[in-house]
């Protein structure tokens, strides 16, 4: 088998689009046995085994991904059942930094009230310096995502629901910050900081002379003091 990756990728894509793996395997078998001029039938049958296995695996993987996306879409659509194009008081935590748009700013917020759901809040005008983790409270007009108006148009509704965004809200004024938490600590930086502290303590405990201790700190940690 000369090109396993393209075969697997096509099988996964076909599974996502809803083609059953048995039909995919049958198509590959027909293509492998169609040309009788290349080799005897036994050779062609043996050469079709590996593509068949890849097609079946890729087809089932694509079907699983499609089913998982469908479940996420349905779950997010259920979360947005309360959004009725009216103003509602809300409270939630900012999940992503504000993103500038053509008409203002967009905030990704995980709501705790009036219902637990993830929404995209649109603010027209200047945006305060919100940070990830800040808890905000305000009032916005919430609406559900609408299906495409024209056949063949990009389905923004399904795209947003598949990414866990149940709906969107429109803000008139920036909501105040109730609790400024800031971004969660970076585990990599925290681990490096702890390592530097342990190295510094080890050098300070083993070298009492300031000269050699300073040289060791400079060589290991890059300190210049």
pTM for the whole thing?
0.53
Structure tokens that stand for 112 in this block? 């705790």
d(CA 58, CA 12) in angstroms, rounded, equals: 4
Contacts 24+ apart (CB under 8 A), 74-79: 76/117, 76/118, 76/160, 76/161, 76/162, 76/164, 76/165, 76/166, 77/144, 77/161, 77/166, 79/115, 79/116, 79/117, 79/118, 79/166
Instruction: Give the model's pLDDT for residue 196.
Output: 76
Structure tokens that stand for 18 in this block? 């809803």
The per-residue pLDDT string of the chain (225 residues; one tens digit each, 9 = 90 and over) reads 445 556 556 665 665 555 565 655 666 656 555 554 455 444 444 555 666 666 666 666 656 655 666 777 787 788 888 888 899 999 999 988 888 888 888 889 999 888 888 899 998 888 888 888 889 999 999 998 888 878 777 778 878 888 888 999 998 888 888 877 655 556 766 677 677 777 877 787 777 777 887 788 777 776 665
Which of 69, 26, 48 has its CA nearest to residue 162? 69
d(CA 40, CA 30) in angstroms, rounded, equals: 15
Helix (H) or strand (E) holding 117: strand 117-123
Residues forming a β-bridge with 171: 123, 140
SS3 119: strand
Phi, psi for residue 146 in degrees, rounded to 5: -100, 145
Instruction: Give the model's pLDDT for residue 4.
Output: 58
């Amino acid at each position: 088998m000369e090109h396993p990756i393209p075969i697997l990728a096509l099988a996964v894509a076909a599974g996502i689009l809803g083609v059953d793996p048995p039909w995919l395997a049958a198509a590959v078998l027909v293509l492998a046995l169609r040309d009788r001029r290349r080799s005897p039938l036994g050779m062609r049958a043996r050469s079709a085994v590996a593509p068949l296995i890849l097609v079946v695996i890729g087809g089932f993987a694509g079907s699983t991904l499609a089913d998982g996306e469908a479940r996420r879409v349905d779950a997010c659509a259920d979360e947005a059942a309360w959004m009725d194009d009216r103003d509602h008081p809300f409270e939630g935590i900012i999940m992503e930094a504000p993103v500038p748009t053509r008409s203002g700013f967009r905030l990704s917020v995980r709501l705790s009230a009036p219902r637990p759901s993830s929404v995209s809040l649109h603010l027209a005008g200047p945006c305060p310096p919100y940070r990830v983790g800040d808890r905000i409270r305000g009032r916005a007009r919430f609406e559900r995502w609408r299906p495409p108006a024209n056949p063949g148009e990009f389905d923004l509704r399904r795209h947003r629901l598949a990414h866990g965004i149940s709906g969107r809200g429109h803000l008139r004024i920036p909501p105040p910050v109730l609790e400024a938490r800031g971004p969660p600590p970076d585990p990599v930086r925290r681990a490096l900081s702890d390592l530097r502290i342990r190295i510094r303590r080890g050098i300070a405990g083993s070298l009492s002379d300031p000269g050699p201790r300073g040289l060791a700190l400079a060589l290991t940690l890059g300190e210049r003091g």
